[in-house]
Amino acid sequence: MVPAQPPEPANVPYSFCSQPRLLPSRPKYRQQSNAAQRQRSPAHHCNIMIDPRVVRGKVLSVPPPPPQSTQPSTLGVKRQRRAQKQVLPKRLTHEQIRPGTPEPVKGREHVAVQTELYLEEISDRIIEIDGECQTDEFLDRPLTPLFIPAKTGKDVATQIEEGELFDFDIEVKPILEVLVGKTVEQALLEVMEEEELAQLWSHQRAFAELRNAEFAELQRLEEQDRRIREEKERRRLEHLEKLRKQKETAEKIAARAFAQRYLADLIPSVFNNLHDSGFFYDPVERDIETEFLPWLMSGVEETLQKKVLGRTMLDSLIRTVVEKRLDEFSRPPPSEQKEAPAEEPRETDATPQMSSEADSAEQPLAENEESDSPVAEE
């Protein structure tokens, strides 16, 4: 149902009409096989949210033009195919798990029949019966009755006339005498007790005063005795301290005298032993031994080392010079080799040269010794 016309003025009544459409051609009666198949297949309900026949929007707005073609759209075909694909596996699985009833023979149809042991009437409406129940109101618990023991004997009544049992004036006299006598006696006892208590209190006060005086005197005597004991103890300690000091002084004097007598011969012997051992020495001699002599010995040692070093160097120089001279004399000159054979040097000729070289080498050594001798003398 969609509005066919635009809204009219308020005085015109509102009306609706549907778009003209063609009725689909369908048979008058449905086939039995299709009906049975539809019963087995699950029912698919239409969703009005996606139904193209339902128009959305305002009711008074102009509806969109209807589609010209009667063929289903591509989107609808896809949805149908997708639904068939989803339903087909479920249907096959259901048929495999629990096979259904075979198709009825032509001319017959299946009817639902109860196969239980006890049949029951099936009706669409459930029978309901209303029932009511009323309980009594709660009553308060009654009070617990008092316990009254049961009677064991029989009740008997006796009638007594006035004056039969006793005379009140005669019978009450001894009772009154006893009451009055007891009251007076109790009063006298209370008075005597008060007097006795007063006397006891007076005696108690006198005894307390006497006891306090005696206690004060006792405290005075105890304090005097304590002071006497303390003074006696103090004097005894002073006397003991005096005796201890006198004894200590006498011991010190005796020890001093003994030490003086013992050390009179000990000190000289100790000094002699120390002097012999070298503890007492001449400072000048000790200074010469510890300072001057080590310095002198170190200087002499350095001088001797220098002399030894000079002699060693001189020996090495002499050896080098002699070796060079020997090499020179051992090789003849080249001119003499061409002209004539070289004459062998004579021993007499070589000896003066060696002696002259030795004299020239010994001369610096003598000069060096002469230069070192003043240092040693110093």
Q: Residue 126: is its pLDDT beyond 80?
A: no
User: Which of 22-31, 90-99, 310-319, 353-362 has the lowest average pLDDT?
Assistant: 353-362
Give Rg (Cα) of the chain.
Answer: 83
The DSSP H or E segment spanning 222 is helix 168-277
Taking the alpha carbons of 284, 290, 291, 296 in that order, is the dihedral positive or negative?
positive
Place 76 in a pLDDT band, splitting at 50, 70 and 90: confident
Query: Given this model, what pLDDT does residue 224 score?
Result: 94
Place 95 in a pLDDT band, splitting at 50, 70 and 90: low
Q: Work out the average pLDDT over 147-176.
A: 83
Kindly state the percentage of the chain with pLDDT values over 90: 29
pTM of the model: 0.23
Q: Which residues contact 14 (CB under 8 A, 6 or more apart)?
A: 7, 8
**What is the b/e burial string over 102-129, where b = at least 16 CB atoms within 10 angstroms of the residue's CB?**
eeeeeeeeeeeeeeeeeeeeeeeeeeee
**Got the DSSP string for 80-132?**
HHHHHHHHHHHHHHHHHHS--PPPPPTT--------SSS-----SSPP-----
Place 86 in a pLDDT band, splitting at 50, 70 and 90: confident
Query: Given this model, what pLDDT does residue 189 score?
Result: 95
Q: Residue 150: is its pLDDT beyond 60?
A: yes
Q: Work out the average pLDDT over 90-110.
A: 73
The more confident residue out of 360 and 47 is 47
Query: Given this model, what pLDDT does residue 357 score?
Result: 46
Q: Work out the average pLDDT over 272-292.
A: 81
How much is the mean pLDDT over the chain? 76
